[in-house]
Amino acid sequence: MVREFAQAMAFTGTPDVVRIFTSHLLPLERQVLRVTLGEQIYALKLDFTSDVTERLAHEFEGLKKLSAHFLTYDKLGTATPVYLSKSGTFFAMNFLDFRTAGQRLKESQQIQTTRQVYRRAGLWLTAMHEFKPQKRSPFYGEWMPLEVDARIDDGQMHAPANDVVRMRDILAEQIDDVQMVKDTRVWSHGDFHSENIMLGPGMTYAFDLTEARMKLAVYDVVDFLKVDIYRQMPGEGIDSSGIIASHREMFFKGYKHGIKPELFEVAMRGRLLIDWASITKNGFKDREGQRLRFLRLKERLDIAFFG
């Protein structure tokens, strides 16, 4: 693959290659390489099944259109596609080498810095959601209690089942109150979490658009704002959705499209509950990060569901 790409770029030296990502779920299928050809650095995204599924070919074509779309915005961008392999099993894009939004939020204790991360993420998502014409579609939230039930039935959940069931039942009632309410439907990123956003000097980038498709805008917003649980805040600073009120405010200073607050709050509570119920007994036992995440999520869920 590297040889094919180097030849396509008319590079005659010796490439420097480092594997920088391997999928936890599909390690033998999906990987990312950093490839240096002289002074130019690229990311090669690999999917060894994509010659059949055409997954990467679809993503490459979509990324070409999206990167052109972002050229019309100031200080916002995405990775630039460079080369799609003949077989469709990899494509190359320019390599972005900046700290992610998640890294900045975990490293910085400066309130102004963290607030700007949220605002810049909101600005980028505004542009993403303008890529295709927006629509109005009903909210269907019954999938969230079903996701929680699947974690309970699996038998690997660390959280006390009684606590999870109690919150699930409250969530189901709240979903009934907003079911079928229409809200903004857009071309969504599909995986807009804080490690898929990079903040360079004066520029905000997002990448990994494999899951991009039309869906309610609220889900992209929830995907990003759930990173908020990693920051400590006294209970009075947490709003009824379970996140820090000032961070939500700053995000929506950047994000300009209408999201119904009642839908956002239900979707946020559901996402936090699913994440809490997804922490397994073994994960809690073996990984310090999972133990911290478990405790932070419990703190936020208690506020979101019980005030």
Give the count of domains, the chain.
2
Same domain, 116 and 76: no
Same domain, 71 and 131: no
Least confident piece of the model among 100-114, 161-175, 199-213, 279-293: 100-114
Q: What is the CATH number of the domain that holds 145?
A: 3.90.1200.10
Same domain, 209 and 145: yes
Residue after which a domain boundary falls, among 94, 110, 125: 94
Number of helices (H) and strands (E), helices first, in the chain?
A: 12, 11
Q: What single-letter DSSP state applies at residue 80?
A: P
Can you give the pTM of this predicted structure? Answer: 0.92
The values of phi and psi at residue 59, to 5°, are -65, -40
83 and 60 Cβ atoms separated by less than 8 Å: no
pLDDT at 200 over 80: yes
Structure tokens at 228: 């908020």
Residue after which a domain boundary falls, among 94, 116, 147: 94
- Domain hosting 71: range is 2-94
Same domain, 174 and 253: yes
Spatial distance between the Cα atoms of 221 and 271, rounded to a whole number of angstroms: 11
pLDDT single digits (tens) 60-89: 999 999 999 999 999 999 999 999 999 999
Structure tokens at 305: 């569901």
Looking at residue 111, its pLDDT comes to 80
Residue after which a domain boundary falls, among 66, 94, 122: 94
